[in-house]
Amino acid sequence: MTESREPIATAIELLREARRIVVLSGAGLSKASGIPTYRDADGLWTSQNALQYSHADDLARDPAGFSRFWAERLAVVESARPNPGHLALAQLQRLRPATRLITQNVDGLLTVAGCLDVLELHGSLRRWRCDHCGNRRGPWLLNRCKRCGSRARPDVVMFGEMLNQGVLLDASTAAQACDVFIVVGSTAVVYPAAELPLAALSAGGRLITLNMEPLHLDASASAVLRGAAEELLPRLVAGLGHSGTTS
């Protein structure tokens, strides 16, 4: 997809001038890695199984079905590889070490790509836990806890559960302290994550939106980039790298 030069140039200039950058990423970042999004025509929310096994109570309701569904999702995640969008964000952190990465994704691909200290708002499928005894250490043979034998579950936030308040506080603090906040591949309508770009704007930060489709935040953005994250993020970071600044 082609993109006019002006929004890209504006976004690069904003990044060059920024000391603190925050990136909030959603499902659109990982789509090119083969991870299904949620709301596309072929997204997860079109699957009856996803709807049946995404609530905190579903493990007790149907333990076997729950374990089978999440094990299949984990297999998809473990076979996926970071795409150029993930790698560009890792490079952004190398160029600007103060950059904070916040994600709504549970695939762990930012960490696999070499990103550091990723704030995973919804947890990670690559971590499992036992809610019966509190064990968080595997191996999880047959999706069971080695300590007590209970069925384990992914360490992800499901419907009916609260986000980790420590992670959310870190994300909110970063948003309020940043010079530039970038929304990548997220509709930014699911709360409390949707509050983060608004917090950045309220504190005087500048906003860049990067998404395939229009966002409600576009009207508040200093640069609106329309296209795929795996195409546009590498261009943004390359432009920043050519600036010769490391502040």
Catalytic residue chosen out of the listed positions 122, 132, 216, 242: 122
Catalytic site residue 122?
A: yes
| Residue 66 DSSP class | H
d(CA 171, CA 122): 12
218 and 209 Cβ atoms separated by less than 8 Å: yes
Our separate counts of H helices and E strands in the chain read: 10, 8
Which stretches does DSSP call E strand in 121-233?
123-129, 153-156, 180-184, 206-211, 223-226
* DSSP SS3 for 129: strand
CA Rg, the chain, in Å? 19
Q: Cα(113)–Cα(116) distance, rounded to whole angstroms?
A: 9
How many residues are listed for the chain in this entry?
Answer: 247
Quick one: 220 exposed, middle or buried, by C-beta within 10 A (0-12, 13-18, 19+)?
middle
Answer whether the bond into residue 139 is a cis peptide, omega within 30°: yes
Residues taking part in catalysis: 122
